[in-house]
Structure 1
Amino acid sequence: MRILLLAHAFNSLTQRLWAELQARGHTLSIEFDIADAVTEEAVALFEPDLVLAPYLRRAIPEPVWGHVRCLVVHPGIVGDRGPSALDWALQEGEARWGVTVLQAEAEMDAGPVWASVEFPLRAARKSSVYRNEVSAAALHAVLLAIERIEGGSFIPTRPEHVPGARGRLRLLMRQADRAIDWTRDGTEAILRRIRAADGFPGVADRLFGEACHLYDAWPEARLRGAPGAVIARRETALLRATVDGAVWIGHVKRAGSIKLPAVLSFPEQSAALPEAPLAGWWRAAEPTWQDIAYEEQAAVGVLHFEFYNGAMSTAQCERLRNALLWARARPVRVLVLAGGQDFWSNGIHLNAIEAESLQGGSAADASWRNIQAIDDLALELITTESQLTVAALAGNAGAGGCFLARAADYVWAREAVLLNPHYRNMGNLYGSEYWTYLLPKRLGAEGAQAVMRNRQPLTARAALASGFIDECIAGDAATFAAEVARRAAALAADPAFAQRLADKRAARAADEAAKPLAAYRAEELAQMRRNFYGFDPSYHVARHHFVHKSPASWTPRHLARHRELAGRTA
């Protein structure tokens, strides 16, 4: 089929549908929902069999849905209507939720149902549920809807006539609905409210007497204080007491600023708080905020790094490097770098870099420090000699995070993972993390250049087929973790382990003799210096628009293929 994706932005769900539908032989193009006239023009140019809307913030215009079949992916159960479906479900503690694919009509979310898929609703951040359960259910429902369209015999049913439908109309959730009363609300209620607003719009609140929005909340099992008081800090997070415990606030957006780690948002106020450090890198036994955590079983060590949205600041890269050096000294044969549940890594921390410029500093200098720090981390991973290393991608990876993963000996990815192994979308960045060494070794010179030119997301299956990763493992996050543990244990117990390690050392020595890693790094950083300090401001402009969530004014040509074809015809 010829399918036009109509979306507010190229978000994680849109990317997944784009990649998965193309892999199944459909011809796709994308148009961002900028204006009705632009959408109508896109339909006229592409002449799609189907318009699929996975992520919209307003209604499809009547001249479009009246002319071609339009299906809307709604993150709610059958009968649910309104723009805050997932927010309400999480805040109210629903046990099950779902995704419904409806045909677009004049009334939003009220058209005939083509498919619906339900799932157990995890108590987690909205952004996490969206990237995992919602995306998986949406893919299932969209494929089922397309199958029914192609079959030709299915007759969609209106939501009110679907047996067992339990959804209802619920209006836009406003900040009054999300408000926290720190003198009355318990920890679980506060966690639900902040999680239901993550990563947009956050919960409007006040910290240190100043208006802000809260994100990224975690429970604390031991520390206590006066309800509402900010009582401690740890690395980049702040601890706030509740009536029956405390919650860590990982990220904050102050009025007129950008979303940042909480301590960076309130640096002076945070400095006056007592620190609540953890004793080393071992995973804490009780619930708390811990962005880097190590655990060990027999001959396998696992290093987790739960960095919000996969962004890695200079300080986070330095701390993770220290944790890696510590883990390398442990008596283990295999080191697994597990990343976080939603993201393995997305490379340098653009928000932290932008914050430098907002505070009168140099974004170029901040970028330079960050790329040096992530290169230092990659170097330690590449030169690990006493263990075999595995990058286990339970969540997505992008830009420098993809090549940091490739610095490990093996890359194993969950089947649902998306990779964006390129830098060009961020103002034509050249990139570093030793990609000029790592990628040609895997894919050859031409294959490496093809990856860097391609600005499209890769599914884990496609990445495996290309040779970019080593294993693609089916199943949910728990299944993936269990399988990674099994495979890592088998690798550690392999009778050929000593020979594998010897071969690894020999290959590294031969590569170093042929061309030192320092030479690759110097060449990459010479290009990056031009990106950061040169006359072309593309990187700085792209970073600013990304961080400030500037609305799209046009659809990139590598996505809007109908416009590229129209231009060639003209």
Structure 2
Amino acid sequence: MRILLLSHSFNSLTQRLHVELRERGHDVVVELDIHADVTRESVALHRPDLVIAPFLKRAIPDDVWRSVRCLVVHPGPPGDRGPAALDWAVLKGVAEWGVTVLQADGEFDAGPVWASRSFPMRRAAKSSIYRNEVTSCAVAAVLEAIDAIEAGGVTPQPMDAGDPRIRVRGPCLQADRTIDWQHDTTATVLRKIESADGVPGLVDSLFFQDVRLFDAHDAHGISGVPGTVIAQCEGALARATVDGAVWIGHVRRLAPRDLKLPAAKVFAAEAGHLPHRPGCGYVPIRYREHGEVGELAFSFYNGAMATGDCEALLKAYRAALARPTRVLFLTGGRDYWSNGIHLAEIEAADSAADESWRNINAIDDLARAIIETTDRLVISVIRGNAGAGGVFLSLAADEVWAGDQIILNPHYKDMGNLYGSEYWTYLLPRRAGAANATRITQCRLPMGVTEAHRLGIIDRVLSGAELETANLVKRGAAMAADEGLVARLADKQRRRDADEAEKPLQAYRDEELRRMRLNFYGFDPSYHVARFNFIHKVQKSRTPLTIANHRSRARLTSPLA
């Protein structure tokens, strides 16, 4: 089928649908919902059999949905209507939620239903549930709807006006989730912050300054006068509730152009007077040992790794190497493995170029330490999405295992033609081949695990319970006990020596950083402009041609082309 994905942004769900539909042989293009006339033009250019709207903030024009079947993905169960479905579900602490694929008919979220899926809710941030449960269910429901449409003879089910499942709710406002620090329990505070995590953030105050709160966690074993800030840890601040405390990992001041940053960095002077309480619920980096299997787990907010994060992870990695294990897992977070350097902290620095340089060198140091480890097997376990330098960091390990639901963006160029480092010019060609390495880094498209496995970027695809730590440890223990491990490690050392003799790692790094220095300090400001637009969420004025193939084809066939 010819399918047009119409979306407010090329977000995680839209990317996942783009990957899954293309993998099934559909002709898929994307148009960002910039203006109704742009949508009309895209329909005229692509002539789609189907329009799918995974993420919209306004209605599809009447003349569009009347001329071509349009399916809307709503992050709520059948009958739920309103623009803040998931916000309300998290805020109210519902036990079960769902996703509905319905046909656009002129009334928001009220069209006939083609497919739906439900899932048990877990206690987590709205953004995490959207990225995981909502996305997986949405993909399944969209594929079911497409199968029904292709099969023919199936009609969507209308929702009668008297259906008891119908519930219409308006936006979830600040007043609906304002925290009462003198009366709200820890669980209530967490639900309120988690219901707003990602966008828009929960408005509150810290040290008499208005901020938006993000990245909240239960603070174990900490308490104090309700509402007071009582501790710090790894960039987070602990604030007391009536029955404990919560960690606030990130905040953003309400002033225009202020950035979302670690709370203890935003309030560095105030945090300096607070006690440091590690291991009380906010643990971005953690090491655990299971016999001959080590697990170095890390989870950085939104997958961004600042200079200090890279340095801390390198320190933890070296400590893990001092332990008597034979297999070492590097397990990223549920939401992200890594997205590379921390663009927000770079944007906030006195010199963005200098901080970019420090950050890329810090992540390079970590990648090199992994590449040079030859006395044990190192395995990257990607349980959440990965992008840019984060993808290439994973390739530094001997094997890469990945969940079947993830999306990879193994390219840098959308960030102002950034060249990239993390030794990708060494790591990627030896896995995917030189020709594929060029194609991967130039095409700027998201990649699913099926394609990544075909190209050799991923060695093993895992699903469901296979990604749980206990099952990973069982696999790791079997590898550690394998009689062939000694020979495998010896071969690993020989290959590393041979590669180093042919071309030293430092040479790859020098060549990459020579190009990166031009990105950071050179005459072309593209990287700095793209970073600013990304961090400040500047809306795109057009859809990038890399995902808008219908516009690329139109340019090629134009008599003026």
TM surpasses 0.5 = yes
Identity of aligned residues (%): 56
Q: Deviations over 1:516-554 (max 9, x none)?
A: 111110110000000000000000000000000111211
**Is the Cα contact below 8 Å between 2:443 and 2:546 reproduced in 1?**
no
Task: In structure 1, give the amino acid aligned to 2:145.
Answer: A
* Letter matched to residue 183 of structure 1: Q
Work out whether 1:306 is the aligned partner of 2:306: no
Report the residue type matching 1:169 in the other structure: V
1:324 paired residue number: 317
Aligned to 1:21: 21
4+ residue runs over 3 A deviation = 160-163, 478-483
Shift of 1:272: 2.3
- The letter of the residue matching 1:3 is I
Q: Return the letter of the residue paired with 2:459.
A: D
- Aligned-residue offset at 1:55: 0.5
State the partner residue of 1:41.
Answer: 41
* Aligned-residue offset at 1:158: 1.7
Aligned: 1:420 with 2:409 = yes
| 1:480 to partner: Cα distance | 4.7
SS at match of 1:556: coil
1:401 to 360, 381, 390: 390
Render the CA deviation track for 1:340-393: whole Å, top value 9, x for unaligned.
11100000000000011xxxx110000000000000000111111221100000
Aligned residue in 2 for 1:133: 133
Deviation at 1:126, TM superposition (A): 0.7
Q: Secondary structure at the match of 2:80?
A: coil
Matching residue within 505, 510, 534 for 2:498: 510
Letter in 1 for 2:415: M
- Aligned counterpart for 1:362 among listed residues 339, 351, 361: 351
Query: How many residue pairs get matched?
Result: 556
Distance 1:143 1:314, change over 3 A: same
Letter in 2 for 1:272: H
Who is 2:370 aligned against? 381
Q: Distance in 2 between matches of 1:479 and 1:277?
A: 27
Rounded Cα–Cα distance in structure 2 between residues aligned with 1:481 and 1:27? 38
> Which string of whole-angstrom CA distances, capped at 9 and with x for unpartnered residues, describes residues 6-60 of structure 1?
0000000000000000000110111000011110111111110011000101111
Partner SS, residue 213 of structure 1: strand
* 1:139 positional shift: 0.4
The answer to whether 1:95 aligns with 2:83 is no
Paired residue secondary structure (2:97): strand
1:57 partnered with 2:45: no
Assess if the C-alpha contact under 8 Å between 2:198 and 2:214 holds in 1.
Answer: yes
Distance 1:329 1:467, change over 3 A: same
Separation in structure 2 between the aligned mates of residue 129 and residue 459 of structure 1, nearest angstrom: 19
CA–CA separation in structure 2 for the residues paired with 1:167 and 1:227: 39
Q: Which amino acid aligns with 1:370?
A: N
- Residues 403 and 467 of structure 2 are in contact (CA less than 8 Å); yes or no, is this contact kept in structure 1? no
**Equivalent residue number for residue 252 of structure 2:** 253
Instruction: Give the Cα–Cα distance (whole angstroms) in 1 for the partners of residues 202 and 507 of structure 2.
Output: 48
Asked whether the equivalents of residues 77 and 167 of structure 1 are also in contact (C-alpha less than 8 Å), the reply is no
How far off is 1:173 after superposition?
Answer: 0.4
The 2-side partners of 1:162 and 1:134 are apart by 27
Q: Which moved more, 1:93-102 or 1:451-460?
A: 451-460
Segments of 5+ residues of structure 1 without an aligned counterpart are 279-286
In structure 2, distance between residues paired with 1:480 and 1:268: 40
Q: Which residue of 2 aligns with 1:69?
A: 69
1:225 aligned partner: 224
Q: Look up the equivalent residue of 2:550 and give its one-letter code.
A: H
Query: Does the CA contact (< 8 Å) of 2:383 and 2:467 recur in 1?
Result: no
Aligned counterparts of 1:39 and 1:552: Cα–Cα separation in 2 = 14
Is it true that 1:200 corresponds to 2:199 in the alignment?
yes
Q: How far has the Cα of 1:271 moved from its partner? A: 1.8
1:97-146 residue CA offsets vs partner (Å, 9 max, x unmatched): 00000111111000000100001111111111111100000000000110
Contact conserved, 2:3 with 2:28, CA < 8 A, in 1? yes
Cα pair 2:389 2:410 within 8 Å, conserved: yes
> 1: CA distance between counterparts of 2:118 and 2:140?
10
What TM-score, normalized by structure 1, do the two folds share?
A: 0.96
CA distance in 2, matches of 1:151, 1:465: 30
Residue by residue over 1:481-528, the C-alpha shift from the partner in whole angstroms, topping out at 9 and shown as x without a partner, is: 444222212111111111111111111011111111111101100000
